[in-house]
Amino acid sequence: MEDSIDVILQDQNTKFLHRPQDSHHLSMVLGGLLVGFYRLWTMFVQPGFRKVPIKLQVPYLPSSTIQTQNVMKLLEGRKGCLADLGSGDGRLVFAASSLGLQSTGFEINSILLTYARSKAWWKGIPTYKATFVNKDFWKTDLSRYNNVTVFLAPGVMEVLEKKLLAELPDGARVISCRFPFPHWPSVGTEGAGLDQVWAYDINAVRRIAT
């Protein structure tokens, strides 16, 4: 009897030893499917994304309500045009347009772009107040915008500093969400933790850059 239990246990051990291999194969198949799905997604849904260098790619994450309010506090009293670099579902663009800024969202994800445009249409917001452009902002001349909002990723901030410094007009203000610019002096900040945002005046940045 004892012998037969030993045999059963040994048999189970042998089966058990084979299982990790099975699950290894399964995870390889699942991994392959996920990579394939992601490739299809980037090929068809985000065609613009393929052309953005990997280290500059930023995924979608919407601003929270508090973060949006913090951005608006730092834009109070501002006039002119605003660009939101990577506008997602358009929430910063809509909020800025309600402050009276002529707001443009640049977005390469066509699903988000269609959603933002539909929302603008649904709310009856005319395009001269809020508009959405299907364009890679890295390849866009930003010299007409005297207000810029960004909610991107830490890895792109240094590159973005150079682009904005080269292109923005004197008097421009930049608001950065969650991730501050590494070398710029901020002129104000609102909120804390994940909702913290910083304001930068390009004149002050230029003064220290020269």
Ligand X SMILES: C[S@@+](CC[C@H](N)C(=O)[O-])C[C@H]1O[C@@H](n2cnc3c(N)ncnc32)[C@H](O)[C@@H]1O
List residues near ligand X by CB under 6 A.
52, 58, 60-63, 84, 86-88, 91-92, 106-109, 112, 136-138, 151-152
User: What is the smallest separation between the CB atom of 97 and ligand X, expressed in angstroms?
Assistant: 14
Angle at 75 between CA 69 and CA 76, to 5 degrees: 90
User: What is the smallest separation between the CB atom of 17 and ligand X, expressed in angstroms?
Assistant: 45
For ligand X, which is the closer residue by CB, 107 or 190? Answer: 107
For ligand X, which is the closer residue by CB, 78 or 178? Answer: 178
For ligand X, which is the closer residue by CB, 25 or 50? Answer: 50
Length reported for the chain? 210
Contact 58, 108 (CB under 8 A): no
Contact 200, 185 (CB under 8 A): yes
Distance, in Å, from the CA atom of 27 to the CA atom of 12, rounded to the nearest integer, reads 23
For ligand X, which is the closer residue by CB, 10 or 65? Answer: 65
Q: Which helix (H) or strand (E) segment is 201 a member of?
A: strand 197-201
For ligand X, which is the closer residue by CB, 112 or 199? Answer: 112
User: What is the smallest separation between the CB atom of 16 and ligand X, expressed in angstroms?
Assistant: 45
User: What is the smallest separation between the CB atom of 50 and ligand X, expressed in angstroms?
Assistant: 11
For ligand X, which is the closer residue by CB, 16 or 60? Answer: 60
At residue 58, the 3 state secondary structure works out as coil
Contacts with 149 (C-beta within 8 Å, 6 or more apart), sequence order: 71, 75, 82, 83, 84, 85, 92, 96, 174, 175, 176, 177
Point out the residue whose Cβ comes nearest to ligand X: 86
User: What is the smallest separation between the CB atom of 109 and ligand X, expressed in angstroms?
Assistant: 4
User: What is the smallest separation between the CB atom of 33 and ligand X, expressed in angstroms?
Assistant: 23
Contact 91, 70 (CB under 8 A): no
